[in-house]
Amino acid sequence: MNKVFDALAHPIRREVLELLKGGEMTAGELADRFPVSKPTMSGHFAKLKEAGLIYGENRRGSVIYALNMSTLEEALHGFMDRVGLGADNPSHTRASRTARGVGIE
């Protein structure tokens, strides 16, 4: 989980994840969206891959990146459990919030 949060700490890496929500993109397509050098972008890609947030596949000489949502979901669930907001915490279920008079949007 630490690697995921470390990877999410940088705004460029967060924006890469946003872009990949729309589907696969080549490393070049992603790099062209940012005002940094290609080696700097490679470092960002490496950090995201190390955290398991993206994966890359070499196709005909281009690296194609895609989002790995399962890692992000696992990290989010782990974080929520740590702070007591997980599904196993009965104080945060819909029924218990309603019973306590806490509004649900």
- Which architecture does CATH list for 2-99? Orthogonal Bundle (1.10)
**Residues with pLDDT less than 50, the chain:** 92-105
Q: What angle do CA 86, 91, 93 make, to 5 degrees?
A: 70
- DSSP H stretches of helix in the chain: 2-8, 11-20, 27-31, 38-50, 69-82, 94-99
Q: What's residue 13's pLDDT?
A: 97
Phi, psi of 57 (to 5 degrees): -135, 130
Query: In the numeric block, which tokens belong to residue 74?
Result: 């696992």
Rounded to an integer, what distance in angstroms lies between the CA atom of residue 105 and that of residue 102?
Answer: 10
Are 80 and 30 in contact by the 8 Å Cβ rule? The answer is: no
pTM of the model: 0.74
As beta bridge partners, residue 55 has 66
Domains of the chain, residue spans: 2-99
Rounded to an integer, what distance in angstroms lies between the CA atom of residue 87 and that of residue 79?
Answer: 12
